[in-house]
Structure 1
């Protein structure tokens, strides 16, 4: 988008003194209106020649363009008097969006130019009509029938006439050129460049804040709170690929662990939840065991797990290691506490930790 720097407009006041008008516009609105004019003209050309074997849209384009420009200019000049001023007040229903106002004017012109066949047939709702309009627009663009510069010049005139709240153009006026020059440095419709390295977009100063929140070249802190600073356009890729704080499933998701943690904390999660992961392995090894027995078994195996087992990060390695450990360690009884009155034949003494460890290592 290029900034549209307009020359100052010299007029005369009631006393004959020189008056200098700013003459700057919201370039985005000017471009938006200008882009709408060509399809509007193409629609009028197509609907005006519907079913006519002697005329084509191209054959009437020149005459209709002249009429189109005159119609829009006149309508825009009388817009305030006809549509906005109502008994000395601004009508509440009057739109203050110049694009919307001009669109309605274009639609009125198109309606006015439809021939009888177009009015009484189903032509207006047909897909063939839309395709024909698209073809005419493309032909006009390729032949440069109505250049963007000329359409923007008309769009500026229309905008100035219908923007009665001066939201999209500057109405400042000055008696001296020097005052106008100073105003040009601060006018909200002055052309501005993006300050972010790599961005070549130009816009009016009024849109600076809006551009800043969408500029793909703005450097931002990582959205997931990692220490990195990333270009906005690369943020999504960073967050789902290399960011250490991206959320991932636990490595033992396939076993049944449904925890999601930042990638940088995955080792800590595995270390802190070793018993839960052992329990998930045991549930597969002993499908008929009760939950209480499995929990006691998981607690026992966790206390015997080597540092190598504790450091395992994948399902396969942990499953094989826990299965091997489980096969070497005798089961704990339901209770490790023996009453003082029980005989030696009524209970078995639970092997001590040192004895179990020796069995595992052997």
Structure 2
């Protein structure tokens, strides 16, 4: 597929090659978000102390001037920022590696060049009043649509190319023909991509697809606590704490002595396995100060001999087991009384 004539003109390099224009959209957006506060700072500082000018009255003119300044400075910034030293191969590290930080430095220089006399006073530059005015003017420009984000991103993309001296955020590939460039775009690591997880609208360049997928809040994952459910990542904590059948719970007999914790779904298994100790805890509550531990242990053995343990083990809390124990004790007492009557007769 052939490129449109306008795109061919944009990517040709000195008439001999075609350069890929793909770049990291997240960094472009990050730079674009800095432009509006940068313009607001320049406008506020430029009109401070002038009763005949407001930030809004100079915004359009300063915006054009700032864009020209950013484009010009960004082309030469790397060379200006540090003088290469052949004897020190690490000297290049003095340049900020974050392109947004470099653009921010250039914007600060532009704002400083536009400050009024009052705006140059250090007390004003550090005052809360200045920051409040800048924030207010940013909100005003956003409300009036003075500089929409898509237009700022269009300005930010060439800035990124100018300051990305390590080609960490932009594709540097060049091709002799437009057809080869077009073929490359299908596999370029910086080609635009979007998340495939249902509900996620995040866009990024393809090289960051794995990183996004590893953190995407909309990705469906197996439960972290190994239950059979699959859960959206952003709901995982709530699921594990509130509804997961494998969440850990305290034994329902915790308050009277059993300190065990176990997954919710194994409640019945736990109560069955620990019926002896649960019975002893319940008997201690029922017969407080009436019987010794040894006597209560003997009563537990009586329950076992009466073949009532299986029925008692179905009681899954203190109240139900207490009622069951009292009922069985009453039966045992009645049985003993009847046996005494028979022996007397």
Deviation at 1:103, TM superposition (A): 1.8
Once residues 328 and 124 of structure 2 are traced to their aligned partners in structure 1, the CA distance between those partners, rounded to angstroms, is: 81
Deviation at 1:58, TM superposition (A): 1.1
Deviation at 1:224, TM superposition (A): 1.2
Residue aligned with 2:22, SS: coil
Query: CA, structure 1 residues 18+50, in 2 after alignment: closer, same or farther (shift >3 Å)?
Result: same
State the match for 1:343 in structure 2: none
Residue aligned with 1:196, SS: coil
Deviation at 1:357, TM superposition (A): 11
Task: Encode CA deviations 1:163-196: one digit per residue, 9 max, x unaligned.
Answer: 0000100111111111111111111111223333
1:260-339 correspondence to structure 2 within 5 Å: 260-288=261-289, 291=293, 293-301=295-303, 303-304=305-306, 305-325=308-328
Query: CA, structure 1 residues 12+277, in 2 after alignment: closer, same or farther (shift >3 Å)?
Result: closer
Unmatched tracts of structure 2, length 5 or more: 1-5, 340-345
State the match for 1:69 in structure 2: 67
Deviation at 1:121, TM superposition (A): 5.9
8 Å CA contact 1:83–1:91 kept in 2: the answer is no
State the match for 2:108 in structure 1: 107
8 Å CA contact 1:10–1:18 kept in 2: the answer is no
8 Å CA contact 1:80–1:162 kept in 2: the answer is yes
Residue aligned with 2:93, SS: coil
Once residues 29 and 98 of structure 2 are traced to their aligned partners in structure 1, the CA distance between those partners, rounded to angstroms, is: 14
Task: Encode CA deviations 1:302-330: one digit per residue, 9 max, x unaligned.
Answer: 55444332201122121233345457768
Unmatched tracts of structure 1, length 5 or more: 1-5, 331-354
8 Å CA contact 2:11–2:20 kept in 1: the answer is no
Query: CA, structure 1 residues 20+310, in 2 after alignment: closer, same or farther (shift >3 Å)?
Result: same
Deviation at 1:130, TM superposition (A): 2.6
Q: Does 1:183 align with 2:184?
A: yes
Residue aligned with 1:213, SS: helix
Query: CA, structure 1 residues 281+52, in 2 after alignment: closer, same or farther (shift >3 Å)?
Result: farther
State the match for 1:138 in structure 2: 139
Once residues 132 and 162 of structure 2 are traced to their aligned partners in structure 1, the CA distance between those partners, rounded to angstroms, is: 33
Query: CA, structure 1 residues 232+12, in 2 after alignment: closer, same or farther (shift >3 Å)?
Result: closer
State the match for 2:159 in structure 1: 158
Once residues 163 and 12 of structure 1 are traced to their aligned partners in structure 2, the CA distance between those partners, rounded to angstroms, is: 18
1:17-166 correspondence to structure 2 within 5 Å: 18-88=16-86, 89=89, 90-120=91-121, 122-166=123-167
Task: Encode CA deviations 1:83-114: one digit per residue, 9 max, x unaligned.
Answer: 24522445222221111211222233334434
Query: CA, structure 1 residues 358+29, in 2 after alignment: closer, same or farther (shift >3 Å)?
Result: farther
Residue aligned with 1:86, SS: coil
Task: Encode CA deviations 1:237-259: one digit per residue, 9 max, x unaligned.
Answer: 43334322122222223333332
Deviation at 1:358, TM superposition (A): 8.0
Residue aligned with 2:215, SS: coil
Backbone CA RMSD of aligned residues: 2.8
Task: Encode CA deviations 1:41-74: one digit per residue, 9 max, x unaligned.
Answer: 1122222323332221112212322232222222
Which structure features the higher share of helix residues?
2
8 Å CA contact 2:18–2:174 kept in 1: the answer is yes
8 Å CA contact 1:219–1:231 kept in 2: the answer is yes
Q: Could you state the TM-score of these two structures normalised by the residue count of structure 1? A: 0.80
Once residues 356 and 101 of structure 1 are traced to their aligned partners in structure 2, the CA distance between those partners, rounded to angstroms, is: 93
8 Å CA contact 2:78–2:95 kept in 1: the answer is no
Deviation at 1:272, TM superposition (A): 0.7
